[in-house]
Structure 1
Amino acid sequence: MPDSHQVESLFLEGPVGPLEAVLWSPGPGVSPPLAALVCHPHPLFGGTLHNKVVYQAAKVFDRFALPVLRFNFRGAGRSAGKHDKGIGEQGDVRAAIDFLAARFPGSPMVLAGFSFGCLVGLRVGCADERVAELVGIGAPVNGSDFSYLQSCPKPKLFLQGRNDPYGSPERLEQLAASWPGEKRVVVIEGEDHFFAGALVPMSAALAGWLAARHLELRDR
């Protein structure tokens, strides 16, 4: 991680109470070209901000000296409230965006989400003008509604395991063909929904996408 990396454990002001969060930042006095938000998988199945996929994605943003925020949805970890089937959780994502906008004013955001965090986070990110780019990891397209992306022209990256039972790459590519704007689907061969043996290629794909889109960033 960058030498100037700082860690801040905090609580966001969520719609139903405090939301536990961790912010990695490049240090005081830095005006970052981007700020990143990473949303975790389903809390009823053990998803938290400490999930390994979420953590690895956050490390990629940190390597580029970008501030990156992870938080626990309502009812997860030390966050207040209870699970709301992806409805109230959209307000949690907005609270996280509000925090980043206040802490790093003027910095556009890239919003990434894994599984449930992808489904909920990208819906909010599409509608919020402060979010410039979207990253979906393990998008559960087989049984979830991603139709909102049909009216979302923001640049989109999707990282999907070849054998994902919740989101087949074929289904994802079929849907992505109808989505406007720049989009890219990267299929990680030999992996399922959880990227157990593919955190390195997953991270490399995310880093490559960031570097190609933002020549001003330097991978450390």
Structure 2
Amino acid sequence: MAEVLHRNFFLEGRAGRLEAMLWTTSAAHPPRAAVVCHPHPLYGGTMHNKVVYQAAKALHRRGVPVLRFNFRGTGLSEGEHDGGRGEQEDVRAALDYLAAAFPGRPILLAGFSFGAWVGLRVGCQDARVAELIGLGLPVDNSDMSYLRQCAKPKLIVQGGNDQYGSRANVEALFQTMAEPKRLVVVEGADHFFTGRLDEVDAAIGAWLDEQDLRSAGPAPAF
């Protein structure tokens, strides 16, 4: 795993300061930078959630600086929960930070549950975001139809027994999504991927390898 250089600090958000943590590496030119958005704060979601942590670890292990932050009103972040509206501004504040800290690097935006619903919406629209990862899409009670027109590379990882995003509903949405896209169903896993986080890690790693091969272009012919 890459050497972990921690930085705990506050982002400047529209609703006040946002508690944040950056894992960076000693690499001068990382392949990308990433932000991972956490699940619903009214139900205990924070940047320290196990799924968020595992996703961040999977990215960082592959040389990617990773930013996590607490949405407004969560942890030490200022402001109040805004039902997913103001939280989109929080995501943009995180992107502002990454774009300034890693100029010229493509940004990968990942989110789990509520963090996927809010974060991927911003990521689809923001030109600074090149790649998207959605974990545990809460499609049974949240409108994620915006993904249909999103032509950025997308990885969706879903538990086969997700309580908030049924396999049938996720597969139906996935079929309508623009390419490029990849869906990985973790058979038998619940919304929180209980006992199956290693498979989430593996799915992220395999997809990143594919992305890097694609960006490198075809091998020269001899």
**TM-score tier after normalising by the smaller chain length:** over 0.9
Deviation at 1:110, TM superposition (A): 0.7
Q: Distance in 2 between matches of 1:31 and 1:91?
A: 28
Deviation at 1:22, TM superposition (A): 0.3
User: Equivalent residue for 1:15?
Assistant: 14
Identity of matched residues, %: 59
Within 5 Å, which residues of 2 pair with 1:140-179?
140-179=138-177
User: Equivalent residue for 2:114?
Assistant: 116
1:22-74 C-alpha deviation (Å, 9 max, x unpaired): 000013x6121210110000000010000000000000111011100000000
Structure 1: segments with no counterpart, 5+ residues = none
1:36 aligned to 34, 38, 49, which one?
A: 34
Q: Contact conserved, 2:8 with 2:22, CA < 8 A, in 1?
A: yes
Deviation at 1:173, TM superposition (A): 1.2
- Aligned with 2:91: secondary structure? helix
Structure 2: segments with no counterpart, 5+ residues = 217-222
User: Equivalent residue for 1:87?
Assistant: 85
Deviation at 1:200, TM superposition (A): 0.5
The one-letter amino acid of 1:19's match is L
User: Equivalent residue for 1:24?
Assistant: 23
* TM-score, normalised with respect to structure 1: 0.95
Q: Distance in 1 between matches of 2:101 and 2:59?
A: 17
* TM-score, normalised with respect to structure 2: 0.94
Deviation at 1:178, TM superposition (A): 1.1
User: Equivalent residue for 1:130?
Assistant: 128
1:124-162 C-alpha deviation (Å, 9 max, x unpaired): 000000000110000001111111112211111100001
User: Equivalent residue for 1:63?
Assistant: 61
The one-letter amino acid of 2:154's match is K
Q: Distance in 2 between matches of 1:65 and 1:180?
A: 28
Deviation at 1:92, TM superposition (A): 0.1
Deviation at 1:78, TM superposition (A): 0.2
Q: Distance in 2 between matches of 1:149 and 1:159?
A: 14
Deviation at 1:184, TM superposition (A): 1.0
The one-letter amino acid of 1:8's match is R
RMSD: 1.3
Q: Distance in 2 between matches of 1:201 and 1:149?
A: 24
User: Equivalent residue for 2:220?
Assistant: none
Q: Distance in 2 between matches of 1:54 and 1:209?
A: 17
Q: Distance in 2 between matches of 1:13 and 1:125?
A: 19
Q: Distance in 1 between matches of 2:71 and 2:99?
A: 19
The one-letter amino acid of 2:114's match is F
- Aligned with 2:46: secondary structure? coil
Moved over 2 A (4+): none
**Count of residues in correspondence between the two structures:** 215
- Aligned with 1:202: secondary structure? helix
Q: Contact conserved, 2:31 with 2:63, CA < 8 A, in 1?
A: no
Q: Distance in 2 between matches of 1:143 and 1:43?
A: 16
1:162-183 C-alpha deviation (Å, 9 max, x unpaired): 1011101221111111111211
